[in-house]
Structure 1
């Protein structure tokens, strides 16, 4: 898939069949995460947690009044050591890389922040239970799964974000 088509096809999906990702798909998501640019090249300041346990996903969702993972069979949590502005920007790049490769693979995804900041980041016991290293703070997550319907590209535009030019 060419880059612009992937960008135009990537979308937040909020409904997933229960079919689990294959090991090869997970490996490609992790490879995309590791290809993301991070501040000062300090990859050691980031950690990925792949959650495929329905019981743990349900625990993560318990911090919210809704089901923020929308039935996705896989949730990937990105944690950072002492997250400041640079680390949070890097976390965004890591998540976006995974979302883009998910799209290229024909998978659905959705960026999820609330379940992490409202719950997991404050629950040391659960963080330890799922293997987030000491000193790391869960910052963001990505729900990933098979698609219920094929993803389709949107029409390209440059009018969604206001722009000014300085000559």
Structure 2
């Protein structure tokens, strides 16, 4: 299976190997390519976290909910946005599909994002603008394990 949509799985264990800068740029491009509701591109922004000190602080605040990934994409939306959460989820999926294309692992982290919102000092340190909240974090890196990706019959499908 080579299709990155089908190859993408949730990875919760990473090696300590850093993600190459060129791959990070490709992941950022995938984020930038995400659609946005009603063309409101100003309701979402992302902080790319590579700094080991910041990664450690995020792990501490979230009780290790980011699986010690060497790279985090912290996706933030305006608090009063009608489409922000949906846009953030679509952008996260773009990141995860591109990660699969690059043979990287990733996972969608919503609970860690919610916890991060309670850490106002850390949010400031991450450069998250006032009036924004973290909606989702995508952890990313070189997978230390390969989860089962047989999902052919995961959901019920009704064809008429």
TM over 0.5, yes or no? Answer: yes
- Alpha-carbon distance between aligned partners in 2 of 1:42 and 1:20, rounded to the nearest angstrom: 33
* Cα deviation digits, residues 61-86 of structure 1 (max 9, x gap): 22334x22222111010000125552
Aligned residue runs from structure 1 range 105-120, under 5 A: 105-118=102-115, 120=116
Aligned-residue RMSD, C-alpha:
2.1
Instruction: Provide the residue aligned with 2:6 in structure 1.
Output: 8
Instruction: Provide the residue aligned with 1:136 in structure 2.
Output: 132
Deviation >4 Å, runs of 4+: none
**Are residues 83 and 153 of structure 1, via their aligned partners in 2, closer, same or farther at CA, if it must alter by over 3 Å?**
farther
The count of residues paired between Structure 1 and Structure 2 equals 160
Q: TM-score, normalised by structure 1?
A: 0.86
Q: In 1, are the aligned partners of 2:76 and 2:135 still within 8 Å (CA)?
A: yes
- For 1:78, which of 75, 78, 94 is the aligned residue? 75
Q: In 2, are the aligned partners of 1:6 and 1:100 still within 8 Å (CA)?
A: yes
Q: TM-score, normalised by structure 2?
A: 0.89
Q: Secondary structure at the match of 2:68?
A: coil
Q: Secondary structure at the match of 2:117?
A: helix
**Are residues 152 and 130 of structure 1, via their aligned partners in 2, closer, same or farther at CA, if it must alter by over 3 Å?**
closer
Q: In 1, are the aligned partners of 2:47 and 2:127 still within 8 Å (CA)?
A: yes
Q: In 1, are the aligned partners of 2:106 and 2:140 still within 8 Å (CA)?
A: yes
**Are residues 152 and 12 of structure 1, via their aligned partners in 2, closer, same or farther at CA, if it must alter by over 3 Å?**
closer
Instruction: Provide the residue aligned with 1:56 in structure 2.
Output: 54
**CA apart distance, 1:152:** 8.2
- Alpha-carbon distance between aligned partners in 2 of 1:153 and 1:123, rounded to the nearest angstrom: 34
**Are residues 153 and 115 of structure 1, via their aligned partners in 2, closer, same or farther at CA, if it must alter by over 3 Å?**
closer
- Alpha-carbon distance between aligned partners in 2 of 1:63 and 1:105, rounded to the nearest angstrom: 29
Q: Secondary structure at the match of 1:79?
A: strand
- For 2:29, which of 27, 31, 55 is the aligned residue? 31
Q: In 2, are the aligned partners of 1:9 and 1:153 still within 8 Å (CA)?
A: no
Runs of at least 5 residues in structure 1 that lack an aligned partner in the other structure: none
**CA apart distance, 1:148:** 2.9
